[in-house]
Amino acid sequence: MHLSHAPDAPAGDEISFDDFLKVDIRIGTIVAAEEFPEARKPSFRLRIDFGPAIGEKKSCAQIAVNYVCDELVGRQVAAVVNFPPRQIGPAMSEVLTLGFADEQGEVVLFAPDVKVPNGSRLF
């Protein structure tokens, strides 16, 4: 299955509700952000606090086109917290920070419009 980021792409293959529940998407607050010049695309290394049950996790996110590193700390973001860690160049990414493509195909972060407790799960 190939996923397209294009806004006019058809919906993906049908899945069961149980399949959806296997993907653990949580809200966390960015507590640290730094530039990641070793990445192929403009990226930042993030440290995100998902609350006491999950703790802080690292993520490499290709968001440098639409965001300024210094303005990310304190921002809430959504991330998949139950994928295996992935090596991204010299960094380890422990969670997949979620976003949508803007009109230029660059990532816009996915976050609640009202602050929620860190660790809150998407349902």
| 90 touches 39 (CB < 8 A) | no
Averaged pLDDT, 15-19: 93
Query: What domains are there in the chain, each with its CATH number?
Result: 21-109 (2.40.50.140)
pLDDT tens-digit profile of 24-70? Answer: 999 999 999 999 988 888 899 999 999 999 999 999 999 999 999 99
Q: What is the model's pLDDT at position 41?
A: 85
77 Rama sector, left if φ>0, alpha if ψ -120 to 50, beta otherwise: beta
Q: What is the model's pLDDT at position 53?
A: 97
- In the chain, the N- to C-terminal Cα span, in Å, equals 24
In the three-class reduction of DSSP (H, G, I as helix; E, B as strand; rest coil), residue 45 is classed as strand
Q: What is the model's pLDDT at position 3?
A: 55
| 28 touches 51 (CB < 8 A) | yes
- Of 89, 111, 35, 12, which Cα lies nearest the Cα of 120? 111
pLDDT tens-digit profile of 77-93? Answer: 999 999 999 999 899 99
